[in-house]
Structure 1
Amino acid sequence: MKTLDMRKAELEARRAQLVARLEQVSEELEVEEPKDWEDLATEREGDEVLEDLGATARHEIRMIDAALARMAAGEYGYCVVCGAQISEARLDVVPATPFCRHHAARH
């Protein structure tokens, strides 16, 4: 069983990884080189993938920030809908989850 401090450290480490990824995505999207039409089309496809990666990272960061706020408030590990304790196994898989198994299926 992981302690709250262990879970917090994991969430903070994951957040740092995501912030670094966002910085890389931003840098990659800012690079502009003159290209012909074929290269431009390929680059646009790549940019769409990068934008999706960035959006996913931002969403996960928001989830982590919310989990860290619940930790600070003493509410981490409890479902925000029903107040039931979230299982250790679920927190191991989705450490930032605000929902128990039952309510996660609905959201």
Structure 2
Amino acid sequence: MVNHEQLKALLLSRREELTDRLGKIKQGMTRKSSADWSEQAQERENDEVIDALGNEATIELNQINKALDRITEGEYGYCSVCGDEIADGRLMAMPYTDLCIRCAEARDQ
């Protein structure tokens, strides 16, 4: 079985990275708009992209926090639907997942 402490360190590092990214996004969203109309239009388009990136980071951050809670509670590495162990390869690829591959595929269909 994969070492949960290594994955916990990976999750904590990723959480810090995402928290920093969200802080930078917030700073960028509060900047003053340009006086030029064409520049304002471009800034609004950029803001939409930045907002979408912020939403994705927030979702991943929530998943990471839930995974860290599962580690603390001793439930990490087990599927939240069927209770089977989650394959090591899946945990390495998606350390915040709470679904085994079978349940994840069933959910996506």
With normalisation by structure 1, the TM-score equals: 0.95
CA distance in 1 between partners of 2:51 and 2:33 (Å): 18
Q: Deviations over 1:52-97 (max 9, x none)?
A: 1110111001000000000011000000000010000001110000
After superposition, the CA RMSD in angstroms is: 1.1
With normalisation by structure 2, the TM-score equals: 0.93
Give 2:65's aligned residue.
65
Give 2:83's aligned residue.
83
Task: Supply the AA of the counterpart residue of 2:5.
Answer: D
CA distance in 2 between partners of 1:2 and 1:94 (Å): 13
- Asked whether 1:10 is paired with 2:10, we answer yes
Give 1:99's aligned residue.
99
Structure 1, unmatched stretches of 5+, are none
CA distance in 1 between partners of 2:100 and 2:89 (Å): 11
Task: Supply the AA of the counterpart residue of 1:56.
Answer: E
